[in-house]
Amino acid sequence: MNPCPDDFFLDVHCSQSHHHGEMICGDVFLSRRVREEGRTIMVLSDGMGSGVKANVLATLTASMALNFTIGRKDVRQTAEIIMKTLPVCSTRRISYSTFSIIDIDDDGLTSIVEYDNPRCLVLRGTTVFDPGWEVVELAIEGHQGGKVLHVCAFQACKDDRIIFWSDGIVQAGMGSRALPFGWGRQGAVEGVLRLVTGDPYAASARLSRKMVALAIRYDGGQPKDDTSCGVIYLREPRKLLLVSGPPFDEKNDLDFALQVQQFKGKKIVAGGTTAEIIARELALRFDAGMEVTDPELPPVSVVEGIDLVTEGILTLGKALRMLESNTDSDISGNGPAHLMVKMLLESDHIHVVVGTRINMAHQDPTLPVELEMRRTLLRRMAKLLEDRYLKQVQLSFL
């Protein structure tokens, strides 16, 4: 029987920063939702060194680990195949990549396998939880000394967090006067506890970004290693409604506006005409924005009861590009697309509603390019949110 029966959503995010002077991160994070089995699998791999070579080796490791875990291959076999496949340093006689594998099913049963990454942290609320680690020793031909895996299996509950990281986190500050031996795992744990205590409901994206930012600060603003921090948060689902475009039939304007008003969760309206219809039908205050926070986009407007009101196609396009780039630096701004992406990443169940009315003021009705652009953008965004960010997305057309 499941001792933690409450429904939860897996809020997953991994923030990364590459070694100073490199153009690519040598840490690789991959995730996959196996819907038919009700499983979600996350892998973080750290390639030895930095730059392109480290990234290629970490990508190979993470890909193998992910695929073998999906196929439920034994952890010993998984580790042995990975270690035999990767090249071994001629001097150090060790494999070039580490890995952490986290496999969580929809009932909360969680298994973790780690090889040479700093031990991950499991929090139950704001308390450190011991999941019962076990050591699995391996004997790999061609490798000096026995190789060790750390494994555990436990029943996760709502409000649990799993924080996993590369050594760029725990070694941050090494060689400095303040932290000559680095931040250390215990320092990183204390850092997480301070952040969670101060912001108990922080989304995974926010917590992971703050941890990476702290590590970079301890390194004097120039990361001395590839730095990654992933967070898995089992939480009450956060709902968001994203609406763009008015409904096809004007007779449905009132029902459409009421649907937006009655939605239980945060709301984004992308499109001036769409926002005007909602304000008109519900007699809400509508204020056109004047403050330009992004020179590429029209400013944010205000409609009473709506969390974010932006222009349509341009803002959606930029938000999609930011989601595709998947870099935290791209969403640190305060422009309309930045705000949209932050809300999307901090939500779990996302309902995207696409209006299909042709804007006669801007469009030749025989060439509804704007309509097709909106449909295409939002379809791509929905797929990206599902596949890469593990969101639950419902897409509908009016």
- The string of pLDDT tens digits covering residues 37-74 is 999 999 999 988 888 888 988 999 999 999 999 999 88
**Do 202 and 346 belong to one domain?**
no
| Token pair recorded at residue 323 | 């989601």
Same domain? 61 vs 163: yes
Judge whether 253 lies within some domain: yes
**What CATH number should be reported for the domain holding residue 136?**
3.60.40.10
For residues 216 and 263, state if they share a domain.
no
Q: Tell me, yes or no, whether 299 and 154 share the same domain.
A: no
Same domain, 87 and 132: yes
CB count within 10 Å of CB 38 equals 11
How many residues are given for the chain?
398
Do 159 and 185 fall within a single domain?
yes
Last residue of a domain, one of 185, 220, 235: 235
pLDDT, tens digit (0-9, with 9 covering 90-100), for 249-283: 888 899 999 999 999 999 999 999 999 999 999 99
Give the structural domain span for 371: 239-397
Q: Is the pLDDT of residue 141 over 50?
A: yes
pLDDT recorded at residue 333:
80
Assigned domain for 391 exists = yes
Q: Are residues 45 and 187 in the same domain?
A: yes
**Domains of the chain: total:** 2
- Indicate whether 100 and 134 sit together in one domain: yes
CATH of residue 318's domain is 3.40.50
Find the mean pLDDT for residues 211-234. 94
Asked if residue 139 and residue 19 are part of one domain, the reply reads yes
Residues 208 and 225 in one domain: yes
Q: Considering the domain boundaries, does residue 219 fall inside one?
A: yes
Is 292 among the domain residues? yes
Asked if 189 contacts 128 with a C-beta cutoff of 8 angstroms, the reply is yes
pTM above the 0.85 mark? Answer: no
Do 338 and 376 fall within a single domain?
A: yes
Is 3 part of a structural domain of the chain?
no
Listed residue (134, 128, 183, 186) closest to 160, CA to CA:
128
What pLDDT digit, counting tens, does each position of 358-369 carry? Answer: 655 444 454 445
Distances (CA, A) of 62 to 30, 33, 68, 111: 7, 15, 10, 16
SS3 category, 271: coil
- Answer yes or no: is 169 within a domain: yes
Tokens found for residue 384: 């990206």
